[in-house]
Structures are given as structure tokens and as C-alpha cells.
Structure 1
Amino acid sequence: MNAAALPLALAVIAGIFIAIQAPTNAILGKASGSPVVAAFISFVVGTLALGTMVAASSGRLFAPELKGVPWYAWVGGLYGAFFVAMAAFAAPRIGVATMLTAAIGGQILAALMLDHFGLLGLARQPVSVERIAGAVLVLIGAVLVRRG
């Protein structure tokens, strides 16, 4: 089996879950009157699920090595919280497909910069004409999905 097969399959499954997460959080947001409350509920459930996985595995929640990570490694949850609240707000207004294609466009633009400059400890992968063209096509796709 190809070394990339499992990560690619997991990424596809995660993408499916993200598409499903937006409307389910929109339901919570509508019922509670707040996309932030919906995001909070989502993160509480996610925290419980991850806590169970840490408890059931050999994960070291209080590993001494965690003391040495840079400050920006600790704020990753803020990005997820923003995304979940934004999705609960945006999905019922513009649709899941438009919201996700726009979000994916933003992800690709940021990923190109992260890769190109080797930011946050990543290996450098220079921007190429093909990579830029792919990002532009995704952004065009977001516009087409919205118009359709």
C-alpha cells in the first residue's frame, strides 16, 4: 500500500465530517440563538471524545516535553473554534458547499505560504506555477458553486 493512501483516506473522511458538522452546528446555533454556543457545544463533545481517546491510549497529557513548545502551538484550538462558529453562522446563509469551497480556498492560500516559506517547522515546498494554478482553480470553483 502507498504510504500516502492512509493519510489521504483519512483526509477525505475528515472532509466528509466537516461538511456534516456545519449543518449540525447550524441546527444547534439556530436552537440556541448563537453560533458561538453551537461551537461551544461542539467543542465540549469533541473534548470529551478526545479525553476518552487519551485515557484509552498511551497518550501523555502532561508530557514534560509540552513545556518546551512555542506559545503559538498552544492556540490551535482558537482556529478550530473560529471555524466551527463561522460554519454554524455561514452554512445556513450561503450553503455548506459555498462555505466549504471558500474555506478550502483560504486553506490552500495559507498552505501555499506555509509550505513555500517552511513556516511553523514545515519542510519548504516552493510555490510553483502548477500549485498557484490549482489554488486559483479552487477559488474559481468557490465562485461557481456560489453562483450555481
Structure 2
Amino acid sequence: MQTVYTLLALFIGLVVPLQAAVNNQLRAFIGGSPLLAALVSFSVGIVTLLLMSLATGQKMSGLMGLAKVQPWMLVGGVLGAIFVFGTTLIAPKLGAASMLALIIGGQVCAGLLFDRFGWLGMPLRDLSWPRLLGAALVIMGVLLVNFGDRLLGSSS
């Protein structure tokens, strides 16, 4: 099952630039607003998730538990909206590779902290040297993707 989750994570990573590009094209057709493009994207996402929930037999009565959640537990939707809006705004400004390198660098750094401290119930994982070296290599990749031409004196 671990392989399935690994491949799913890779697939999600592969479609993020596609999502940014699609939302950028949508933005162009709805008046140039990245905020409205994100709104449309999220609206389509809501319908998709509803249909997937119905198709897989999810018990909608589980949503009654929403009355008991603490407000901070709903922040995931806000963060998702910021992500979709942000990628729609930033992709045409920085390019897909630069934007994604920065996002991935931030995700790896934050992920190490969540693993190390078990924030919000995440399982604890040590900050081993191989993991820290991997993060350092990701950061080096972020710098090369974004500033490599200037750092290495080459031009495109």
C-alpha cells in the first residue's frame, strides 16, 4: 500500500503545474482575475468532491460532526484557497518551475518541522542526517532553479 501512496503523492506533484496552467488560462477568460479563477476552480472542486463522496458511499451524516469542530480546524480550506489563488497569481509571473521549486522548498522545510515536533497530531519522525541532507539538496535546487543563471553566470 505504501507504493500506492508514494505514486499518488508523485501524481499530485505532477499535476500541480497543470493546475496552475489551467487556472491561468481560466483567469484570462474571466476578466484577468486570479481571485475569480481560484473561486471557479474551488467551486468545480466542491462539486467534484461531492460527486466522489456520493459515488464511494460516504455517509453524509458524518458532516453533522462539523457542529463540534473547533474553528481552527477549518483553516485547511482557507489554506487550500490561498494555494490555488497563489499559484494562479504567481505562475505567470515567475514561471511554473520557479514557483513550484519555491513551494516545494517551503513544503519540505515545514514538513520536517511537523515531523520533528508532531504538530497537529502528525506522527513523530526524527531529523536524521539523510533527511536534513535531502532538505539541503532541495533548497539548493530551489536556488538553482530560481537564481542559477545569475549564480553560475550563464544566460538563456
Same fold, judged at TM 0.5 (above)? yes
Matched residue type, 2:74: W
Task: Give secondary structure in 2 for the equivalent of 1:132.
Answer: helix
Helix, strand or coil at the partner of 2:83: helix
- The verdict on how the C-alpha distance between 1:97 and 1:135 changes in structure 2, with shifts beyond 3 A counting, is same
Q: Deviations over 1:20-58 (max 9, x none)?
A: 001111112233221111111110111111111112222
Q: Report what 1:60 is aligned to.
A: 59
Please say if 1:144 is aligned against 2:144: yes
- Supply the distance in 2 between the matched residues of 1:128 and 1:61 (Cα, whole angstroms): 42
Aligned residues between the structures: 146
In the alignment, structure 1 segments of 5+ residues that lack a partner are: none
Q: Percent identity?
A: 37
Q: What does 1:1-148 align with in structure 2 at a 5 Å threshold?
A: 3-31=1-29, 32-63=31-62, 64-146=64-146, 147-148=148-149
Who wins on radius of gyration, i.e. which is larger?
2
Q: Unaligned 5+ residue runs, structure 2? A: 150-156
Structure 1 residue 103: Cα displacement: 0.2
Question: What do residues 38-87 of structure 1 show as CA deviations (whole Å, max 9, x unaligned)?
Answer: 11111011111111111222212331444444433222111111111111
C-alpha contact (below 8 Å) 1:39/1:88 kept by paired residues: yes
Separation in structure 2 between the aligned mates of residue 116 and residue 131 of structure 1, nearest angstrom: 11
The higher-RCO structure (CA 8 Å, 6+ apart) is: 1
TM-score, normalising length: structure 2: 0.85
